[in-house]
Amino acid sequence: MASEITYAEVKFKNASPAAVVEVPPETKKHEHHPQKYPPWLPWLISLLLLLACIALVIALLGEYLQVVVPFSRSGDQPTALQQTFMEWQCTSAEPQGKGRGWMCCPKGWKHFQNSCYYLSADKMSWAESEQNCTGMGSHLVVINTEAEQAFLTKELQVPTGINYYIGLRAQAVGQWQWVDQTPYSERAAFWRKDEPNNHGDDEMCVVIHSSSVIHNWNDLRCESHYRICEASAVTV
């Protein structure tokens, strides 16, 4: 005979109720609001970028600057050259007194060491040439060193076969004198072979004959030729 299974409900006293875990409510997500910038900030950034570009250009160019009327320092008396020309080309130089660091020549003139040189495109007599140079605040070129002669020779190589007056002239046959009263020296003279020939008293003026040879001076008649004017470079 199968045994009968009896079920009974049993209750325990002092039993702890099931622990209830309180879950905190879900944290509310913060809404994302775009950060506001002052309206002038883009302009400031653009200005800074512009200044950076300008500084970069100056750094790259470095040794060359073209300026218009760069001479406004109080106490400096403008030279005749400065009063004559409005546009100038300046190259960087070693700082020298009064914080000046640029050497300037009129636009279109050649710069070498401390001087500016003008090579004319028209012809005049020697006297007219010197008068023309003086009117620009300069004088016919006075050549003092071999380096200066080499510079001018290089500048005059193209085209060849052209004569340019320099500031050397004879008061009497064989008595050469520079226009600025610099003493004439044979050691700083660059005559062509067999020159000067002192041909009578009709070859009293001196030209540079454009060629690749550094010894290219020639005495000839004071007729119409091109000219080279020289003036001291202006420092700013």
Which residues, in sequence order, are bridge partners of residue 217? 191, 208
Q: Which domains does the chain have, with CATH numbers?
A: 50-70+79-235 (3.10.100.10)
3-state secondary structure 185-223: CHHHCCECCCCCCCCCCCCCEEEEECCCCCCCEEEECCC
Of the ranges 7-21, 131-145, 168-182, which one carries the lowest mean pLDDT score? 7-21
Mean pLDDT across the stretch 142-163?
Answer: 91
Question: How much is the pLDDT for 61?
Answer: 56
Chain centre to alpha carbon of residue 199: 46
Mean pLDDT across the stretch 46-59?
Answer: 79
